[in-house]
Structure 1
Amino acid sequence: MLFSVSTPTVRRHFALLLKSLDLPQIHVHDIRHKTATISLESGVDVSIMLGNKDIATTERIYIDKTTKMPKRVTDGFLNAVK
């Protein structure tokens, strides 16, 4: 095991982080989706990193989901990690 932190602990701390930044609550997994979408839209093949067999699978899963997360959440998160 890479980390010995439980899933509920990660979720709780992530929720507290979002609250402290005055951002709406999202799921930790939403970051994976947004990172994949931004990478693919920028021409970066992240298939292997995401555990997908090929880029077609990755694009099918992520490319069509670009409008799922509100722009405010995305912008707020990206600004927070800069």
Structure 2
Amino acid sequence: MLMEREPESGIARITINNAQRRNSYDPPMRDQLAAYLDELADDDDTKVVLLRGTGGYFSSGADMRNAYGWYGEGTDQTPHSN
């Protein structure tokens, strides 16, 4: 994940750089995004934040290969029938 700032224009760009996985994100990338947004929230020169992805993709969302346990232990994994 990359962050670029243009102080003269007030624009910051955050780019998800994981095109081989369609810009899916994992816990470290999620934490990095949160850190960038916290940093930019405290920057009075930044007026606009653009979030984008590389390789022709924005983001496919969470990388499900690593998603188990993101939201804490004890998640109900019981199969449900319709």
TM-score normalized by the length of structure 1: 0.27
Asked which structure has the greater RCO (Cα within 8 Å, sep 6+), the reply is 2
Greater helix share, 1 or 2?
Answer: 1
TM-score normalized by the length of structure 2: 0.27
Greater strand share, 1 or 2?
Answer: 2
